[in-house]
Structure 1
Amino acid sequence: MDENEFLADRFEAHRGRLKAVAYRMLGSLSEADDAVQEAWLRLSRTDAGQVENLAGWLTTVTGRVCLDMLRSRASRREDPLEEHLPDPVVSPAGGIEPEHEALLADSVGLALLVVLESLTPAERLAFVLHDMFAVPFEEIAPMVGRTPAAARQLASRARRRVQRTAPAPDLDLTRQRQVVDAFLAASRGGDFDALVAVLDPDVLLRVDTPGGLRVVRGATDVAGQSLLFSRSTSTTQLAYAALPALVNGTAGVIGTLDGRPFSVMSFTILEGGIVGIDILADPTRVAHLDLTALGI
């Protein structure tokens, strides 16, 4: 094995962790792959023999790449309609696929990623690297041009926002599925009261459509939207089905029409009630998801 092959093998051993860093930073699977590839290119141009802690070096480099990508994205974004849900990671209902385990460690649900999208690039970097990957603030500080104390403050502000707006959901998958099934049954049956009963009073519905992100809040309004959608699918000539799946490690649903996927639904459940529903309903984005493990 020559030196390049040896270096490539060492890099591959860290790829899963690096993609996990990049996914949390960017919320985009394709951009996460791009960031990891850039980290490899930078490593290949470096004297790796001088790198004492390769895992730490690669994590830092990936973080820097993602920070630059976030800043570039922010400078281009002028229209609020450009806001969208992060890319979902979809697995069969029976369990997370091995290649997704590192990506979804620490229960990285869509609701958490949405909150991360609201942070400044520097806050997001400080929170992700420190709170999720235990990178010391002394290493984060030069990346954001701050002192370690200031980097600590960035992470603290981000942490407070996460705790306030994305509380830790119930982790019992069996209970999650029971709640989701109750929601679907009430929706199909046109039972408004049963829908409201399974929804938290302040439930938040986010629907990512080709026209932008639509937001509905409150059990009454969300139940009404669900019944409206149920009626519309029941009158179409296409066969609608809701296939159980795991979306970012939690109970979710893939909506299909005549066997073709058209939506991905993710549920955030807290104390037995649905506090959040995130729906990716952009046909272009859904078409790019890898759903082969679900047989569709």
Structure 2
Amino acid sequence: MGTVGTSTDGIAGERRQLINVAYRLLGSVAEAEDAVQDAYARWYGLPRSRQEEILSPGAWLTTVTGRICLDLLGSARARRERYVGAWLPEPLPDRTEWDHAGGADPTGPADPADQIVLDESVAMAFLVVLESMTPAERVAFVLHDVFRYPFAEIAQVLGRTPAACKQLAASARRRVGAARAPVTATGRTDVVRRVKEAWETKDIAALVGLLDPAAVMTADGGGMVGTVLRPVEGGARIAQYMVAIADKAPGLELLERLVNGVPGLVAQRAGVVMTVASFDVSDGRVTRIWAVRNPEKLRPWVLAGR
């Protein structure tokens, strides 16, 4: 899981990798940052003699971060039961936008959201599938299939045999199924742009044509803002709901933005980001919409929009 020296620079250099691992395991920037900070606190809490005995501090930090994430995933079910409405992973802005945020101190430590590599393993569709896995499956799958860690090292995180970890990853892989089927960026961008145009003009017929008849829209308000608490099913119902939102929110501006590295839409009002929407597209039609409205999950977007 990587080898670094025991120098402060070497240890600090592992932070980016750890943040990337933790975000994919937890689906939350804030929780990922907390997990990594906890791992570093445990490292610096070791006696110097113990630190020097550890041949690969990077591997040690990854193992500890993985175990912390495993514990958090284990308690997540109870937390989700108390959550108001559907829970969705935190959406991430494009790095180029984040780099142009005006509020960050360029000499200070990078924000954790800025350190996450945006690839297919953080696409909203993929993260939602990860949510369906057991904690052990998710850890085994993410560490092995996404980050290519050997099962012998994953076994140290999960406290199981390498063979058992291999089976967990295989089970998780079956859950993923077609979720990672690629859609060309050009095709997805075109569909999302047409959805934006139809939404802006309140053209229900055009929206229905762009939505799969069996499409599902899930919204996450966290009880902090008004939104549907259950998924809206069916292209026609979703189209009607989208137009109703436009009617109730005059002055809402829709922007085409990359969301977790994939074309999506950002709705803002008076310069404030209100909603970040992700889309899954198949055969030229939208099959899933994930709309994050919980303001606590939109903090990176507030910065990115400065």
**Partners of 2:266 and 2:197 in 1: CA distance:** 15
**TM-score, normalised relative to structure 2:** 0.82
1:261 aligns with 2:296: no
Structure 1 residue 95: Cα displacement: 6.7
Residue aligning to 1:294: 305
Instruction: Indicate the larger mover: 177-186 or 224-233.
Output: 224-233
Letter of the 2:173 partner, please give it.
R
**Which one of the candidate residues 51, 74, 77 is aligned to 2:77?**
74
**TM-score, normalised relative to structure 1:** 0.85
Residue aligning to 2:63: 60
C-alpha spacing 1:182/1:18, structure 2 compared with 1 (3 Å): same
Listed as ranges, the gaps of 5+ residues in structure 1 are none
**Which one of the candidate residues 147, 172, 176 is aligned to 1:162?**
176
C-alpha spacing 1:127/1:229, structure 2 compared with 1 (3 Å): same
Sequence identity of aligned pairs in percent? 40
SS in 2 for 1:245: strand
CA deviation string 1:64-113 (max 9, x = no partner) = 11111222333455446464111111127x67759746432344111211
Residue aligning to 1:112: 126
Residue aligning to 1:51: 54
Within 5 Å, give how 1:182-201 maps onto structure 2.
182-201=194-213
Residue aligning to 1:42: 42
Residue aligning to 1:220: 236
- Does the 8 Å contact 1:265/1:279 carry over to 2? yes
- Does the 8 Å contact 2:86/2:230 carry over to 1? no
Letter of the 1:108 partner, please give it.
V
CA deviation string 1:5-60 (max 9, x = no partner) = 96321122111110010001111111100111111122223433333333333222
Residue aligning to 1:33: 33
- Does the 8 Å contact 1:20/1:104 carry over to 2? no
C-alpha spacing 1:210/1:55, structure 2 compared with 1 (3 Å): closer
Within 5 Å, give how 1:200-211 maps onto structure 2.
200-211=212-223
Listed as ranges, the gaps of 5+ residues in structure 2 are 100-109
**Which one of the candidate residues 178, 193, 201 is aligned to 2:190?**
178
C-alpha spacing 1:169/1:268, structure 2 compared with 1 (3 Å): farther
Within 5 Å, give how 1:115-130 maps onto structure 2.
115-130=129-144
**Partners of 1:284 and 1:53 in 2: CA distance:** 36
Structure 1 residue 276: Cα displacement: 1.6
SS in 2 for 1:214: coil
Count of matched residue pairs: 283
C-alpha spacing 1:171/1:19, structure 2 compared with 1 (3 Å): farther
**Partners of 1:65 and 1:210 in 2: CA distance:** 24
C-alpha spacing 1:78/1:163, structure 2 compared with 1 (3 Å): same
**Partners of 1:88 and 1:124 in 2: CA distance:** 19
SS in 2 for 1:90: coil
Residue aligning to 1:131: 145
Residue aligning to 2:106: none
Instruction: Indicate the larger mover: 23-32 or 82-91.
Output: 82-91
SS in 1 for 2:216: strand
Structure 1 residue 241: Cα displacement: 0.6
Residue aligning to 2:257: 245
